Structure 1
Amino acid sequence: MEEFSYEDLEEATNNFSLSSLIGKGSHGCVYKGQNLHAQLSNKHFNIVAIKKSSLGLQILQDNSKLDNEIDVLSSLPSSPYLVNLIGLSRRHDNSATTLNNNNNNNNKVLVMEFMPNSSLHHLLHHTDSTQPSWPTRALIALQLARALQFLHDLPESSVVHRDVKPSNILFDSNWNAKLADFGLALRLQTTESPLLHDSPSPPAGTIGYIDPSYTTPSKLSVKNDVYSFGVVLLEIVSSRRAIDVEMDPASIVEWALPLIKADRMDGIIDRRAIPPASMRSSIKTMLTVAARCVELEQSLRPNMREVVTELMNSVLVNVERTRFPPLIKSLMWISRRHRRRKEAARTTVILCRAQDQGEVSSAKMSIREVLAETQ
């Protein structure tokens, strides 16, 4: 893990100015930092995200969520499906507030990977956002499923995120979805190693996404995340919020389940984005998986490995079919027609000679040649 000087972080964020502020959470503020060097490795980072406790929590000396995020992320290997921790910094402060804090954790600052393309919540619910295509929605669902599978299948101890929701799903520069914000995450003992926590944490999460069966600390399970994933999956398909008091019922789960059971897929899908015919079977699979994930009985829910397998088997095939726009499809058709004409024009003698010698012409064409054929 890299180490950074607090002075360098101040310089990278223009002294943590409002112009550098890119987000606020329940336990801290996130700033965009530029041109940062690590102290020991001297590695250069063009752009990073810098998270520090909010002023209110610093005054209250409540740094538990930030400390928990550091504890969990620093124990994880790097993953392409998570917003990874790059390093830490500590502000050296001799103020009374700092001196009264025995563990001196109020001054810890996290340096994270920078995600420039906002969140899934913004993509689905903000009017200034272009609605994502159906292949994009399907890939987001698969990437989130892979993130949770990674956390749940860790050796020695699974990690339960406990706050899976669209605002914690961020996009990198290539629009890959990554899971963020581990302030509520807990490690779940899966081996005979000593307990990882001195005392169990009470249930936590966000209304609308929290597992209704997670009522006591003893109910902590990876299936809590599976339920939350199911809610997010319904949100991806419908673009409806998890809780919408202007709707009846207000809960997306209570609204969607009867429609799924009645096989009324068109009553759920986002009407602002009509799906192509090639994606309808994938959308149906996504809804079926979502319904299984939000089962009230934890034992009836799939694990994330099963979810990933189901989505890959159905979604990826149809996404590949949908990736080529009409122009490319037309070019492919023209190319095939041209190839057939060239083959038909060959004389029988040449064809026989080619067969005798075991030669087969591939009749490859460049896009420029294909376009020339149309003129």
Structure 2
Amino acid sequence: MHWLITFYLTHHQHPNDPATCGNYLMRFRWDLLQCCFPSTSPDTFQKRSNLKWPIFSYKEIRKATNNFDQSRHLGNGKRKGFINQYYGTLEDGREITIQRFTEDKRYILQQFINETVILNYLPHKNIVSIYGCTSHHDEHLLVHEYLSNGNLAAHFHVEKDINIFFPKLPWLKRLDIAIDIANALAYLHYYGIIHRNVKSSNILLDVNFSAKLGNLHLSCKLPDGVPVDTTHVTSDRVGSSGYIDPEYLTKGQLSVKIDVYSFGVVLCELLSSKLSIYHIINEEDNLGTLLSRKIENKTLVELFDPKLRVQSNLNIKQMTAMAELAVLCMKCPQESRPNMEQVLEILNEMKQGRYVTNFHSTKGTISKPYYIPFPLSWFSGFYMF
């Protein structure tokens, strides 16, 4: 893998024209797939050094993680299925996160390729950056930037009491986090990419508590030329309990609006400091219904984290507006939800002291026509509807 990715990336520069970028990504995806099963000598290809990011050797990764020492595992020392993350340090001093795909199955390889392609060709300040990748036998490894303040879920209630390992996030910082992730999702949706696993544990915080969206391996791509707000039916349902859109879960209705729903759940968590599972009263009562009832009964204050200690009436108005926005994000049917560009606009208005309530969205109402510049064949059917 090392030599073929090196050859490909050094001889094929990323085009600036979005109209031609799709074919480029398709070719890269195919070459990346083939390079995981190399059958040709690396001497066949000429190597050059002007890479966008390096292809690490497996030896470098083992050294950086102290041979994947369990004390470096970013999951309380417990392995989680086929994808595990480790903390490491490169020889140049950079702190890194290693995402290790360890099962030799085609769908695991596809997840690795999904994330590699997106992170390399669609960089964004609010999406976790990739430093490089490598492969070794049935292992495929991504090297990411390390974000020192952990994931957002670690800052919320994990049991009965608040997590004691992190300081309390002030309200305005929470609003900034919401804006950061809305920005990342609006960017992905512009290119027809559905994250499909938006949740607090996939939101990482840097040293300044700026938020970045990570773990894009379950993402899927909409067909070329299809408006972003189009809904498709799929039998391939992925996601996390407490965050997954009920229409997607029960009917297989796939669109960018499933990310909007999950984002609404995250907004509730930002308001309450409790993970979504703690808001659910019974099986018939999803979080959107619970939140709507609290707004109608004027008991919304019961949802807010009392330890936030908001400083002004403006903050209370912002929190109320965020709760109303969360309800909109979780509305059914999917067509009644705003898209992420609209959500981002509302959040920015909140921060400026101008907030929008009772927002209504109808199917096809977007500020500009979004059409997908990349071809359907990018993901080649593995994680497509």
RMSD: 2.8
Q: Tell me the SS of whatever aligns to 2:67.
A: coil
Considering Cα pairs closer than 8 Å and 6+ residues apart, tell me whether 1 or 2 has the greater RCO: 2
Counterpart position of 2:190 = 153
Q: Spell out, residue by residue over 1:196-228, the C-alpha distance to the aligned partner (whole angstroms, 9 max, x if none).
A: xxx966011111111111147862100000000
Counterpart position of 2:97 = 49
Amino acid at match of 2:256: V
Question: What stretches of structure 2 of length at least 5 have no aligned partner?
Answer: 1-52, 228-232, 355-385
Distance 1:124 1:192 in 2: 38
Q: Tell me the SS of whatever aligns to 2:89.
A: strand
Superposition deviation, residue 139 in structure 1: 0.9
Identify the match of residue 287 of structure 2 among 252, 258, 281: 252
Counterpart position of 1:204 = 238
Superposition deviation, residue 25 in structure 1: 4.7
Counterpart position of 2:124 = 79
Distance 1:87 1:217 in 2: 38
Counterpart position of 2:172 = 135
Superposition deviation, residue 235 in structure 1: 1.1
Counterpart position of 1:110 = 142
TM-score (norm 1): 0.70
Counterpart position of 1:31 = 86
Superposition deviation, residue 90 in structure 1: 1.7
TM-score (norm 2): 0.68
Counterpart position of 1:296 = 332
Identify the match of residue 266 of structure 2 among 217, 224, 232: 232
Superposition deviation, residue 251 in structure 1: 4.0
* Pair 65,264 (structure 1): closer, same or farther in 2 beyond 3 Å: farther
Superposition deviation, residue 117 in structure 1: 0.9
Amino acid at match of 1:7: K
Counterpart position of 1:315 = 351
Amino acid at match of 1:276: Q
Matched, 1:184 2:221: no
Superposition deviation, residue 75 in structure 1: 5.4
Question: What stretches of structure 1 of length at least 5 have no aligned partner?
Answer: 37-43, 94-105, 194-198, 319-375
Distance 2:111 2:93 in 1: 22
Identify the match of residue 307 of structure 2 among 268, 272, 290: 272
Amino acid at match of 1:4: F
Q: Tell me the SS of whatever aligns to 1:295.
A: coil
* Pair 26,66 (structure 1): closer, same or farther in 2 beyond 3 Å: farther
Distance 1:254 1:120 in 2: 24
Larger Rg: 1
Do the aligned partners of 1:202 and 1:216 also contact (CA within 8 Å) in 2?
A: no
Counterpart position of 1:122 = 154
Q: Spell out, residue by residue over 1:127-176, the C-alpha distance to the aligned partner (whole angstroms, 9 max, x if none).
A: 3033211111111111111111111112xxx1101111111111112211
